[in-house]
């Protein structure tokens, strides 16, 4: 039987520490070849909507997952089917909006753990939506933050966001009147916006800062200006193949110069110790996140195991009448 796991049930079992642990673990396996990832592909639908799909296989654990989602009329609908390799059984259909927010935040948490200065205490977040919340939650899980600065275009939203996140994290979150005000002097800068044009200027970045840029995943969109990318001594991505297709922050800033791509590193290899990340406290490090299916697989495996343990979800009688053998 296939287990249907709802958004509410995902929220009940999946925490940020679990998600960070899962993403870090699968990143190590990705570096050894035990995990294989297929990049995101998309169809454009009539009326300007999109259908997206991406997949990953964990040969060590014996699971395969695909994430598929639509974006139509401003609404996103996410689903992760989880399969068992040895039997081909569809183990679960997991509603994956919150799960996606957590895994994206967790990946930035892993990047921050391995790339940010150990003494990083001040964080800035640009964006005040759901993804911004999990970005802050993940960064706070791996560094002892003392203060956070937040900026979003809507003044009422950023006030509300700052108040709610202060209470949620137990760390003062101060709303700022501009992105520059939030970024200047920050040790960790995270961007989680829907912007098409830069929201962070390299001129505002402090020496030794670490950046998590997660919002733009189309070749023509970016959150960082050319100077911000050029100032990065270390550039790390989740997938070079996927980044070449949709990491507008890098595609635009590199201006078609192939040599720029030769220095870009993969997060999985940094985590596994195959390549170096930060080597000094003055370096600026950049993690450009596009979102890859191995992260969805990692958290889906956790969610499925916990749902089974807690007897959550409902069984769907798929293929119940199929002939045996």
- Asked if 249 and 219 count as a contact pair (C-beta separation under 8 A), the reply is no
CA distance 152 to 135: 14
Q: Which of 29, 67, 221, 302 is catalytic?
A: 67
For 33: left if phi > 0, alpha if psi spans -120 to 50, otherwise beta; the answer is left
- Asked if 76 and 98 count as a contact pair (C-beta separation under 8 A), the reply is no
CA distance 250 to 246: 9
Cα distance between the two ends of the chain: 16
Contacts of 253 (CB under 8 A, 6+ apart): 222, 224, 225, 226, 228, 229, 230, 260
Where b means 16+ CB within 10 Å and e means fewer, 114-139 reads bbbbeebebbbbbbbbebbbbbbbbb
Could you confirm whether 75 is annotated as catalytic?
Answer: no
Bridge partners of residue 57, in order along the sequence: 36, 64
- Asked if 237 and 248 count as a contact pair (C-beta separation under 8 A), the reply is no
- Asked if 99 and 14 count as a contact pair (C-beta separation under 8 A), the reply is yes
Strand 50-58 and strand 35-44: pairing? antiparallel
Backbone angles phi, psi at 98, to 5 degrees: -65, -40
Residues identified as active-site: 67
């Amino acid at each position: 039987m296939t287990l249907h796991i709802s958004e509410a049930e995902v929220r009940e079992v999946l925490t940020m520490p679990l998600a960070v642990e899962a993403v870090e673990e699968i990143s190590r396996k990705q570096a050894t070849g035990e995990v294989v990832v297929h990049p995101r592909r998309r169809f454009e639908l009539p009326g300007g909507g999109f259908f997206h799909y991406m997949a990953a296989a964990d040969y060590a654990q014996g699971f395969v997952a695909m994430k598929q989602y639509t974006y139509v009329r401003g609404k996103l609908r996410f689903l992760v089917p989880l399969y068992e390799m040895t039997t081909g059984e569809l183990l679960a259909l997991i509603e994956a909006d919150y799960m996606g927010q957590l895994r994206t935040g967790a990946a930035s948490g892993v990047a921050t753990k391995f790339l940010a200065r150990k003494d990083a205490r001040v964080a800035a977040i640009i964006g005040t939506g759901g993804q911004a919340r999990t970005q802050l939650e993940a960064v706070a899980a791996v560094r002892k933050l003392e203060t956070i600065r937040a900026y979003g275009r809507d003044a009422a939203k950023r006030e509300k966001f700052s108040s709610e996140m202060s209470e949620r994290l137990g760390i003062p979150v101060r709303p700022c009147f501009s992105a520059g005000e939030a970024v200047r002097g920050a040790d960790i800068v995270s961007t989680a916006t829907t912007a098409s044009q830069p929201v962070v200027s390299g001129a505002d970045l402090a020496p030794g800062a670490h950046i998590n840029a997660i919002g733009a995943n189309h070749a023509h969109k970016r959150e960082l200006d050319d100077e911000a990318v050029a100032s990065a001594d270390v550039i790390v991505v989740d997938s070079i193949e996927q980044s070449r297709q949709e990491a507008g922050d890098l595609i635009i800033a590199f201006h078609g110069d192939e040599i720029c791509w030769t220095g870009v590193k993969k997060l999985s290899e940094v985590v596994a110790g195959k390549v170096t990340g930060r080597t000094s406290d003055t370096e600026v490090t950049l993690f450009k996140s596009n979102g890859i299916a191995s992260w969805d697989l990692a958290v889906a495996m956790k969610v499925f195991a916990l749902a089974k343990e807690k007897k959550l979800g409902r069984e769907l009688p798929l293929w119940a009448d199929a002939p045996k053998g």
